[in-house]
Structure 1
Amino acid sequence: MKENAIPSPRNDVTDRIARRALERRGAHYVSEVRGLLDAALDVMRARGTASRPRVADIVTAAGVSNETFYRHFPSKDALVAAILEDGTERLRGYVAHQMGKESAPQGKVRRWVEGILSQAADDDIAATTLAVLWNAGSVGEGFMSGPPSAGGALAPLLREPFAELGSIDPGLDASLAAHATFGTLTDHLWRRARPTDAHVDHVVAFCLRTVTAGRTPRNPDTDHD
């Protein structure tokens, strides 16, 4: 038998140290990405729709190097897409939480509309949202019209209440309602106008009318598939 043919026993110490090093690196990378996202958002907010920042502006604000930037993002467009995705997830969580406060489907729809249009109700939030959308080049096409899409992230929250209200196709109706609502939001953002209670009421009525016109709402206690 050749010498050293028997494999050496597993070394738990080296494995543990290696895993610890990888965990530290992972945590450091998470911190780098968060810093880049926050810095880019700050720069975009400050510039508004006057000019689009360069990668150099973003890394300077974040206090990192170009190498750090390109370790995580292949381009500035990829960074903007990540900011959109991050904002979408935050908004989705907020809207879902608000909808959870209601038991009736009509109330859930109202909370959904209110949550979306609230992005134009606060001057700072509205300015930031508009700046990000302008950097994404999608303001004229609707809020979050590119990946990640509003329909993909926010519209599904309407499927259940729309189904309860008697929608024949809850998914399609939710998508249509999302387009109308986010289009309204974009209009308000671009005009720097806060949506009034009347605007909210009108959008809610539109969504409900679209779903319930000529249909009988489902009764979950008596209606079965």
Structure 2
Amino acid sequence: MSRAAPEAPKVSDIIAEAGTCNKTFYRYFSGKDDLVLAVMERGIRVVAGHLRIRMDHEPDSAGRVAQWVEGLLEQVSDPQLFSMCHATLAQMSAAAHRKASDEAIMVPLRELLTAPIAAMGRAAPERDADAVFHATMGTLRRYLGSGERPPAADVEHLVRFCLNGIGVGLGEPTYT
């Protein structure tokens, strides 16, 4: 996908790259959109595992949420991760059933936020987790669309914004 991006790869190109045949491809996938969904699901599981490890190293809930935001934005800071993420999201956006699949695929990322936010005593931890999730994903997609990497000050600002939004109260950042 990254070789063809931003254009959609042809099924024949995917089959050739995989070193397989049409029959094998269609045994597992009904079409290219199913493959894109499978790639996206796998990528989300990998990222969720990485975020879980980062979050587990934090002693408090606010630190876990901060690690989640920073770790997700790290996906657009690393050139190789940026390329893979950009190619996959570009194809995902082109999929006809994007909205339903996007919501379902992202559940593992969202679920990581709910427990630390609930541990803070928030009245609506699922809503708060959704707000942090959407703010961070919106920022991630903005940087993917622009082709730029987020400066540290933008990451710090988003972390503070999200933490202030869930009642941690860090105040205004001190950018250097």
Aligned partner of 1:186 in structure 2 is 141
**Cα distance, 1:107 vs. partner?**
0.9
RMSD, aligned CA:
2.1
Partner of 2:173: none
Q: Determine whether 1:175 maps to 2:157.
A: no
2: distance between equivalents of 1:176 and 1:170?
A: 10
Where structure 1 has 5 or more consecutive residues not aligned to the other structure, the ranges are 1-43, 215-225
Structure (1 or 2) with the larger CA radius of gyration: 1
Structure 2: gaps spanning 5 or more residues: 170-176
Deviation at 1:149, TM superposition (A): 3.4
The correspondence for 2:84, drawn from 117, 124, 128, is: 128
Distance change in 2, residues 1:187/1:126 (3 Å): same
What residue number does 1:64 align with? 20
| SS of residue in 2 equivalent to 1:201 | helix
Q: Contact (CA 8 Å) 2:2, 2:83: kept in 1 or not?
A: yes
Query: Could you tell me how far 1:148 is from its partner in structure 2?
Result: 3.7
TM-score w.r.t. structure 2 length?
0.87
Cα deviation for residue 118 of structure 1 reads 0.5
Distance 1:117 1:148, change over 3 A: same
What is the distance in 2 between the residues matched to 1:154 and 1:138? Answer: 22
TM-score by length of 1: 0.69
Does the CA-based 8 Å contact 2:76-2:140 persist in structure 1?
Answer: yes
Instruction: Report the count of equivalent residues.
Output: 166
Aligned partner of residue 14 in structure 2, secondary structure:
helix
Structure having greater relative contact order (Cα 8 Å, sep ≥ 6): 2
Matches within 5 A, 1:13-52: 44-49=1-6, 51-52=7-8
2:143–2:150 CA contact under 8 A, matched in 1: yes
In the other structure, the counterpart of 2:117 is 162
Alpha-carbon displacement from aligned partner over 1:175-221 (angstroms, at most 9, x marks no partner): 1110110110010111111112211111111111111179xxxxxxx
Separation (CA, whole Å) in 1 of partners of 2:129 and 2:43: 20
Distance 2:112 2:64 in 1: 9
Partner of 2:155: 200
Contact 2:40 2:105 in 1 (8 A): no
Tell me which amino acid in the other structure corresponds to 2:41.
Answer: E
Q: Report deviation, 1:162.
A: 1.0
In 1, the alpha carbon distance for the partners of 2:55 and 2:30 equals 37
- Kindly report which structure 2 residues correspond to 1:130-149, keeping only aligned pairs within 5 A, or say none: 130-137=86-93, 146-149=102-105
